[in-house]
Structure 1
Amino acid sequence: MKATAIGPSNIAFIKYWGKKDEVLRLPENGSLSMNLSNLFTTTTVEFSKSYTEDYIEINSISESNEGSRAVKHLDRIRSLAKITEKAKVITNNNFPTGTGLSSSASGFAALTVAAAKAAGLELSEKELSILARQGSGSACRSIPDGFVEWLDGNTSDTSFALSIFPPDYFEIVDVVTVVSTDKKFLATSEGQQSARTSPFFEKRLDLIKNKIDRVKKAIEDKNFSEFGELIETEALEFHSILFTSNPPLFYWTPETVRLMKFVQKIRSEGLECYFTINTGQDIHLIVQEKDLNALKDRLKKVAEIKNIIVNSPANGTRVVGSHLF
């Protein structure tokens, strides 16, 4: 059987960093995110007796099966479905891969939903989120709709993501400012292994639940100023953990820092805009819908920006009828 799914990337407002369990990908802390409407992965999966090995193609490039996370994920799904057929997987991302824009989140969310459907599994949203998490932690947040909370949990069954507000609840926009399409020097999954070497990591864990509650309340109240201040501070605190790890992790470029200063400048001039940033060089600028055009006008004057991608809050991963092969 063949199935196709489209999975959105997501931007974490409260980040997760570090794992309690590397195999199950249980996070050290919970997190909050928003699905992004214009950063997504489309994946078609077909299981068939005619295939003698798994074939995986990402953005028209064939991937090696040796130790592949995708093949391991297919094995999980085959085990659940009690099938042995090999699979053909074709995946397309509509945005740069491996640059810090969470392509692994959208990728493993789409792979999970498409492969589960192709294998004949009927899984709940919670079950799909748990399964996606085992492929890539943040992928579990791309399964539910809109604004999402990932519960850290202490077991596989208690660590999953759920929607806390629908996409149209909070009228904000995420403008991704692409300053480079170069792949980041170190994958997020590798960087997380040094999380506990930062002297500030334990303090972060002590404060994280309160931060999650405050951001959820700001969204619930549609208090954009409170929300923006919280997520910008969180982004800087998060990267301070990376800076002080052993070895230190620097994902920013000079262009990244200049854009941070640009945000501070336009905010001082009356355009309310905040930033957040994942493990990469590209910055997410968060504004209210009413201020989007004003922000776009200002961004035209910033030489460091190679491209912008405007995102509204989006639904989670969905099965679609149009296949890639």
Structure 2
Amino acid sequence: MTTTTTAHTNIALIKYWGKKDPQLHLPYTDSLSLTLDGYSTTTTTQFLPGRQDQVQVNGHPASPAFFQRVVNFLDLVRQVNHSQKGILVQTTNQVPTAAGLASSASGFAALAGSLNRLFQMNLTPTQLSCLARRGSGSASRSIFGGFVRWQHGTGDFDSYALPIDEHPQLPLTLLSVVFNGQAKKVSSTQGMEQAVQTSPFYPQWPQIVERDLDEMLLAIQKQDIAEIGQLAESNCLAMHALNWTARPFFTYFTAETWQLINLLPIWRQRGVLVYATVDAGPNVKLITNQETLPVVRKLVQSKFPQAQLTTLYPGPGLT
């Protein structure tokens, strides 16, 4: 029996940064994301005759670190199903891995969905969200399409994502600007831990998220793209400020990241609707609308001719 599932990445508009339980991937705060149509992971799983697992990514054997991460997830599912069977995992990834483009979100959401079918677990979307979270926290959100809220919860069974609007009708458009598709030097897990433990401003972070999330829900309800963009940009910079104030400080931003972000207020003064959000990596997602997208794309191309640009729209949940 072979099962195949596709999941899409998501971009956190209101971010989580910090885990109160690293093993269960329980965050300190809620978060709110938008699932995107352009970046996806398709995963096929099947049982093997023996007990040895095989993991392939884009047709090649997985790196030792990623192989172990996947096997740990397979062990979790096997334990639940009282199984010792080996599993072949074949993943086709349309996202640069570990570059701050949410490859783990789509990857573990797709893996959870495929294993759900392989083991005939018949999990509900909420249960699938909990399972995907055990592989990667942000994967809990990629079970659903459109705008999604991940509630931080108190344990393994109440920390899951819920859809806010799976089929948003507003003309929200993102332009992904990839400066560097290489794996980042500081992993998200390592960066979170360092910020939580050493930034003197971390105690204020949950309050910032709570306020921004309430305001973002209103902006989505009003379909106000400018307000959505402004809140997302502000929340993003507040998150990265935790890294700059960690001891020792670190940053995911490169010179190009800074240059683009500093150009945005200038472009907005000219009447261009454009805001930025950046996950744990150097690459930027610009928030705009369909009408303004050609202007934004032309501006970015003129300043960063080497950057890889991808247009993204609100995307679907697990398929």
**Residue equivalent to 2:266:** 265
Q: Does 2:186 match 1:186?
A: yes
- The CA deviation at 1:51 is 3.5
In structure 2, distance between residues paired with 1:305 and 1:203: 38
- The CA deviation at 1:95 is 2.3
Structure 1, unpaired ranges of 5+: 319-325
In structure 2, distance between residues paired with 1:304 and 1:151: 39
Contact 1:9 1:102 in 2 (8 A): yes
* Paired residues for 1:1-325 under 5 Å: 1-48=1-48, 50-63=49-62, 68-196=68-196, 197-303=198-304, 305-318=306-319
In structure 1, distance between residues paired with 2:245 and 2:305: 27
Contact 1:179 1:304 in 2 (8 A): no
- The CA deviation at 1:64 is 5.3
My pick for the range that moved more, 39-48 or 275-284, is 39-48
In structure 2, distance between residues paired with 1:247 and 1:117: 45
In structure 2, distance between residues paired with 1:88 and 1:148: 31
Q: Deviations over 1:200-223 (max 9, x none)?
A: 111111232121110011011111
One-letter identity of the residue aligned with 1:222: Q
In structure 1, distance between residues paired with 2:236 and 2:2: 40
Contact 2:15 2:209 in 1 (8 A): no
**Residue equivalent to 1:321:** none
Contact 2:51 2:84 in 1 (8 A): no
Q: Deviations over 1:240-294 (max 9, x none)?
A: 0011112322111000011112222221111110000001000000001221122
Percent identity of paired positions between Structure 1 and Structure 2: 33
Contact 1:26 1:152 in 2 (8 A): yes
In structure 1, distance between residues paired with 2:146 and 2:172: 12
Instruction: Specify the SS of the correspondent of 1:158.
Output: coil
In structure 1, distance between residues paired with 2:239 and 2:154: 22
My pick for the range that moved more, 242-251 or 106-115, is 242-251
In structure 2, distance between residues paired with 1:190 and 1:57: 25
Give TM-score scaled by structure 2 length: 0.95
One-letter identity of the residue aligned with 2:38: N
Instruction: Specify the SS of the correspondent of 1:301.
Output: helix
In structure 2, distance between residues paired with 1:302 and 1:6: 35
One-letter identity of the residue aligned with 1:147: F
One-letter identity of the residue aligned with 1:61: H
In structure 2, distance between residues paired with 1:9 and 1:287: 18
In structure 2, distance between residues paired with 1:51 and 1:217: 53
Structure 2, unpaired ranges of 5+: none
In structure 2, distance between residues paired with 1:39 and 1:172: 16
Instruction: Specify the SS of the correspondent of 2:240.
Output: helix
In structure 1, distance between residues paired with 2:200 and 2:305: 33
Contact 1:51 1:88 in 2 (8 A): no
In structure 2, distance between residues paired with 1:33 and 1:304: 29
Give TM-score scaled by structure 1 length: 0.94
